[in-house]
Chains A and B, each alone.
Chain A
């Protein structure tokens, strides 16, 4: 067995093997998780670059409405397409499930790995191929369809880069399906015997619900994108009226995936929220069952609300009315989760660590994102807001404000487990604060611009249209947000260069199983097997030990190496 002293030279999954192939060809879920993590962060920086390009060219005065050339407009259209496509297909969809999920799910189950480690490696390699093809397309081609690929524009009116982009999205879809399948099987088959469904941490419930959506919805986008390909290359009429097709049909297929995909993005973030609020309130999560069940409810309802993207698309009025009513059904389980998180804080012992600050930011951000969704579920008001910046602001509050902040909060939360370093200093907190302020400054003005009628996907606005103030504040906010995110990244990267001992096994006081393994864990996750399974949120199972600067089990097992590090004589 590896030496148990918690120092840098202890053997763990990071330093057990060395060399490029030991990472590239690994089947270790932790290494795959980290590779996803850094790939996603790289794509996030790329997508963020294009976001800044958009915001800077919309800064009043940056571009002259009267003299903007067709090339400049095309460059803008390309920028918003790249931003949307990269952020959705390469960043948010894989962010929590593939990166954090891969790292955390088997450890939360007390397992050595996911059910199909080789399939997991294949998922990553597929993702890499898809991502490279996608990024190459975006850089070489002039993709300007928006991430939605609506025909007939995408099939008959724009350049051929749509073909490779669609192919890349198709490959990425397979990666997503395989990851989802892997998690479903892992959660079903690899739970320790004592861990019944209702003793599972809520993050696992969220990942499970997400995986179900990934497996059931992603094939539909795959098929729809293939149909685009078939129509564009072989002129077979499916969506283009000139060839006998129907463009609204594509929208149905597209949103049948893309609405559930919103929950692929946000459900895992909600799962992280549940972990954060329980751990940092040192209290069992309030209403465990209703949070777990609301994840499943959201997964189910997410499949029957897609038509709310199409209230004015020309679909039948009866359908719009039905979809509006169904859409409200998703709002209820989402609201329940928020109320549960807040109630968890009641009479807790709340510590304002960096992950918890991200968690509390999400209450604000998801509050706005969720509540503004009510205006869009309501038929009358949706007509006014459809395809304006109100929508843009709304979905950024949900996808960035909730999913992405959840991702960043999760990175901070599990960073000690990943790299053995706790990142919780003033710099990390400043990153969170600036991101929060910058985010609100960017997107709150867009609600007002949008309600005044400012359409989205416009390369420029004339001053006489009266949107300049809102664009000004939005661009200013984007710069603050950008600075905040870079500070957060810098704080994380800096921890690599901090010398000294590694983080304790359980720095935050979590009771889920991953905290029973040293930080970073050994190659096979646990030095003791199987770990002790209790109630995932019974905080009395661990106590704070100041010489450890972390938490230890109240009743440690004699073979627990994490305890041995601190109290060798008692073990």
Chain B
């Protein structure tokens, strides 16, 4: 990047901003304003202190003024008060802007459309009010799953929950970020004002594949959103195997492949009905072993995977869900 493009980007705050990705939510502009307010105040302060240092260093260099400098005051209450109070005034302003913006952005409007986001190592799952679900994570460089789909121009509140460790939900284009804390609910809200796809990052370290806990927000028109919701609603005629496949894609594929390859955990195709070496013996992979592995994964770990303990899905998957996943795994052997 050459100097010219660098400078021209720096002073183009509207479109391709030097510091920020494009503003895709209504509140983004406010944050950017606060940023640039602090930025220019700081820049002024920085240039002042650096210039003063450079000028004094040059003017009063020892080779010029000699060993004994002329007398000058060692202390001045007036100056010291000025340089304590003036910055304080600016800091009060910064605090106030930040405070206003914070309360605004932490309080979702009451008419918000609510979507639940469930974070687990290392994927996002989104559940919509009509029961439609979608998920997202990255595997082998590919963004898998549909990610989060939200309607354009509507207030959307995302209720966040985690089933294992701390995660954090971040969409830089919306300027939102919130930790996802196991054992309690947190939330973020935004109003998308730009159509298109924007990245979602996990921004709280969560283990091996933290860097792959990525997904995408798709901002679509309200009509498209309604269509999408309907299409993704659970099919009432789905067989247990279909349901299991869907659940498996959303919950298990971050760690388990069904093409024979080893990801974090072992591949699960062709395993049903076979005998597997586990720590301290062997086990027949049957319905009971699958159930046990989902609810209490640390009990009978397959040899070679002792150091990558799986998290329990107790409370996340119902008995029906487990039966459906079992049916799906069984179908992979037949």
Is A248 engaged at the interface, CB distance under 8 Å to the other chain? Answer: yes
Q: How far is the CB of B159 from chain A (nearest CB, A)?
A: 13
- The answer on a CB contact under 8 Å between B210 and A77 is yes
- The answer on a CB contact under 8 Å between B99 and A321 is yes
Chain A stretch 429-488: residues in CB contact (< 8 A) with chain B: 448, 451-453, 455-462, 465, 469
Is B88 engaged at the interface, CB distance under 8 Å to the other chain? Answer: yes
Is A196 engaged at the interface, CB distance under 8 Å to the other chain? Answer: no
Is A65 engaged at the interface, CB distance under 8 Å to the other chain? Answer: yes
- The answer on a CB contact under 8 Å between A342 and B53 is yes
- The answer on a CB contact under 8 Å between B38 and A350 is no
- The answer on a CB contact under 8 Å between B141 and A350 is no
In this complex, the interface size class of chain A, counting residues with CB under 8 Å from chain B, is 35 or more
Is A207 engaged at the interface, CB distance under 8 Å to the other chain? Answer: no
Q: Which residues of A contact B91 (CB under 8 A)?
A: 328, 331-332, 374
Complexed CA–CA distance, A364 and B46 (Å): 8
Complexed CA–CA distance, A337 and B325 (Å): 64
Complexed CA–CA distance, A325 and B99 (Å): 9
- The answer on a CB contact under 8 Å between A363 and B49 is yes
- The answer on a CB contact under 8 Å between B97 and A380 is yes
Q: How far is the CB of B202 from chain A (nearest CB, A)?
A: 7
Q: How far is the CB of B329 from chain A (nearest CB, A)?
A: 22
Q: Which residues of A contact B209 (CB under 8 A)?
A: 70, 73
Query: Please, what's the 1-or-0 string for B24-60, where 1 marks a CB less than 8 Å from any CB in chain A?
Result: 0000001100110011011001100110110011001
Complexed CA–CA distance, A32 and B183 (Å): 48
Is A284 engaged at the interface, CB distance under 8 Å to the other chain? Answer: yes
Is B318 engaged at the interface, CB distance under 8 Å to the other chain? Answer: no
Q: Which one, B41, B103, B201, contacts A455 given CB within 8 A?
A: B201
Stretch at the interface among A299-307, A384-392, A400-408: A384-392
Q: Which one, B57, B76, B87, B202, contacts A335 given CB within 8 A?
A: B87
Complexed CA–CA distance, A282 and B62 (Å): 9
Complexed CA–CA distance, A339 and B182 (Å): 45
Q: Which one, B57, B69, B207, B208, contacts A352 given CB within 8 A?
A: B57
| Beta-carbon nearest neighbor of A540 in chain B | B68
Q: Which residues of B contact A159 (CB under 8 A)?
A: 307
Query: Please, what's the 1-or-0 string for B173-209, where 1 marks a CB less than 8 Å from any CB in chain A?
Result: 1011111011110100000000000010111111111
Q: A374-B42, A452-B20 are in contact. Are A363 and B50 (CB under 8 A)?
A: yes
Stretch at the interface among A120-128, A149-157, A208-216, A515-523: A149-157
Q: Is the interface of B mostly helix, strand, loop or mixed?
A: mixed
Q: Which residues of A contact B165 (CB under 8 A)?
A: 150, 152-153, 156-157
Q: Which one, B69, B138, B170, B212, contacts A283 given CB within 8 A?
A: B69
Q: A345-B57, A375-B35 are in contact. Are A281 and B69 (CB under 8 A)?
A: yes
Q: Which one, A65, A153, A339, A380, contacts B83 given CB within 8 A?
A: A339
Q: Which one, B46, B70, B184, B206, contacts A371 given CB within 8 A?
A: B46
- The answer on a CB contact under 8 Å between B177 and A460 is no
- The answer on a CB contact under 8 Å between B34 and A350 is no
- The answer on a CB contact under 8 Å between A350 and B101 is no
Is A256 engaged at the interface, CB distance under 8 Å to the other chain? Answer: no
Q: Which one, B39, B49, B72, contacts A342 given CB within 8 A?
A: B49
Is A320 engaged at the interface, CB distance under 8 Å to the other chain? Answer: yes
Query: Please, what's the 1-or-0 string for A322-347, where 1 marks a CB less than 8 Å from any CB in chain B?
Result: 00110010011001101110110111
Q: Which residues of A contact B94 (CB under 8 A)?
A: 328, 374, 377-378
Q: Which residues of A contact B264 (CB under 8 A)?
A: 70
| Beta-carbon nearest neighbor of B121 in chain A | A157
Q: Which residues of B contact A342 (CB under 8 A)?
A: 49, 52-53, 56
Is B15 engaged at the interface, CB distance under 8 Å to the other chain? Answer: no
Residue from B18, B76, B80, B208 with most neighbouring chain A CB atoms (10 Å): B208
- The answer on a CB contact under 8 Å between A336 and B84 is yes
- The answer on a CB contact under 8 Å between B179 and A241 is no
- The answer on a CB contact under 8 Å between A290 and B80 is yes
Complexed CA–CA distance, A374 and B83 (Å): 16
Complexed CA–CA distance, A331 and B56 (Å): 24
Residue from A342, A448, A459 with most neighbouring chain B CB atoms (10 Å): A342
Query: Please, what's the 1-or-0 string for A71-96, where 1 marks a CB less than 8 Å from any CB in chain B?
Result: 00110010000000000000000000
- The answer on a CB contact under 8 Å between B141 and A67 is yes
- The answer on a CB contact under 8 Å between B42 and A287 is no
Q: How far is the CB of B77 from chain A (nearest CB, A)?
A: 9
Q: Which residues of B contact A332 (CB under 8 A)?
A: 84, 87-88, 91
- The answer on a CB contact under 8 Å between B46 and A368 is yes
- The answer on a CB contact under 8 Å between A286 and B75 is yes
| Beta-carbon nearest neighbor of A158 in chain B | B207
Is B238 engaged at the interface, CB distance under 8 Å to the other chain? Answer: no
- The answer on a CB contact under 8 Å between B206 and A381 is no
- The answer on a CB contact under 8 Å between A321 and B62 is no
Q: How far is the CB of B92 from chain A (nearest CB, A)?
A: 8
Is B67 engaged at the interface, CB distance under 8 Å to the other chain? Answer: yes
Is A8 engaged at the interface, CB distance under 8 Å to the other chain? Answer: no
Chain A stretch 520-571: residues in CB contact (< 8 A) with chain B: 540, 543-544
Complexed CA–CA distance, A460 and B138 (Å): 12
Q: Which residues of B contact A185 (CB under 8 A)?
A: none
Q: A73-B208, A77-B210, A459-B211 are in contact. Are A281 and B31 (CB under 8 A)?
A: no
Is A382 engaged at the interface, CB distance under 8 Å to the other chain? Answer: yes
Complexed CA–CA distance, A451 and B20 (Å): 6
Stretch at the interface among A186-194, A310-318, A417-425: A310-318
Q: A286-B75, A371-B46, A377-B95 are in contact. Are A153 and B34 (CB under 8 A)?
A: no
Q: A157-B309, A336-B84, A380-B34 are in contact. Are A248 and B181 (CB under 8 A)?
A: yes
Is A144 engaged at the interface, CB distance under 8 Å to the other chain? Answer: yes
Complexed CA–CA distance, A368 and B175 (Å): 23
Is A262 engaged at the interface, CB distance under 8 Å to the other chain? Answer: no
Is B164 engaged at the interface, CB distance under 8 Å to the other chain? Answer: yes
Complexed CA–CA distance, A367 and B47 (Å): 10
Is A117 engaged at the interface, CB distance under 8 Å to the other chain? Answer: no
- The answer on a CB contact under 8 Å between A383 and B177 is yes
- The answer on a CB contact under 8 Å between B69 and A314 is no
- The answer on a CB contact under 8 Å between B60 and A346 is yes
Q: Which one, A65, A290, A378, A453, contacts B38 given CB within 8 A?
A: A378
- The answer on a CB contact under 8 Å between A287 and B80 is yes
- The answer on a CB contact under 8 Å between B177 and A312 is yes
Query: Please, what's the 1-or-0 string for A355-368, where 1 marks a CB less than 8 Å from any CB in chain B?
Result: 00000100110011
Q: Which residues of B contact A346 (CB under 8 A)?
A: 56, 60, 72
- The answer on a CB contact under 8 Å between B98 and A314 is no
Is B304 engaged at the interface, CB distance under 8 Å to the other chain? Answer: no
Query: Please, what's the 1-or-0 string for A135-159, where 1 marks a CB less than 8 Å from any CB in chain B?
Result: 0000000101110001011001111
Q: Which residues of A contact B41 (CB under 8 A)?
A: 374
| Beta-carbon nearest neighbor of A363 in chain B | B53
- The answer on a CB contact under 8 Å between A66 and B99 is no
- Add 6 more A-B contacts to A284-B74, A350-B62 (CB < 8 A): A66-B140, A70-B308, A283-B74, A312-B177, A317-B103, A452-B172
Residues of B near any A CB (own CB < 8 A): 1, 18-21, 30-31, 34-35, 38-39, 41-42, 45-46, 49-50, 52-53, 56-57, 60-62, 65-76, 79-80, 83-84, 87-88, 91-92, 94-95, 97-103, 105-106, 121, 138, 140-142, 164-166, 168, 170, 172-173, 175-179, 181-184, 186, 199, 201-212, 263-264, 307-309, 311-312
Interface pairs (11), CB distance under 8 Å: A144-B208, A150-B165, A157-B311, A246-B183, A287-B76, A336-B83, A346-B60, A352-B57, A383-B105, A387-B177, A465-B199
